[in-house]
Amino acid sequence: MLQRINKKLKSYGLWKYYKSNVSLHFFVKNLMAIALLKSNYMNNAYELLSNDYVRMKKLKEFTPQLNKLLDYYGRRWMKPSIRAMLEFHRAQFRTNNWNECESSV
């Protein structure tokens, strides 16, 4: 998912600003972090971000690109079937440390 969002940032012309603009960087990181929430909180977080960035003066210059990014994220990553697949909340193993431990023995 993160790679796909990075590719979209590049295709929408946001990549160089993402690296240099703290507000944009923070916004995109928050967008990426939605996948780490429980599925019943994902919609609220997405709606909150969608509404908040419009009011942020520091992001006004990126409004057309952020509209495209949010539209893409909503269509691609907010589907119920995808959200269930992305949700790590109930996962037994949240990292691959258990795998690394087994292979070192």
Does a structural domain hold residue 47? yes
Asked whether residue 97 carries a pLDDT value surpassing 60, the answer given is no
Q: How many CB atoms lie within 10 A of CB 63?
A: 12
pLDDT of residue 37: 85
Does a structural domain hold residue 46? yes
Report whether 49 contacts 26 (CB < 8 A).
no
Does a structural domain hold residue 19? yes
Work out the pLDDT band at 9, boundaries 50, 70, 90.
very high
Question: Could you list the residue range(s) of the whole structural domain that residue 75 is in?
Answer: 2-91
pTM comes to 0.77
pLDDT, tens digit, 9 for 90 and up, residues 36-56? 888 788 899 999 999 988 888
The whole-chain average pLDDT of the chain stands at 84
Does a structural domain hold residue 96? no
Does a structural domain hold residue 35? yes
Q: Give the total number of structural domains in the chain.
A: 1
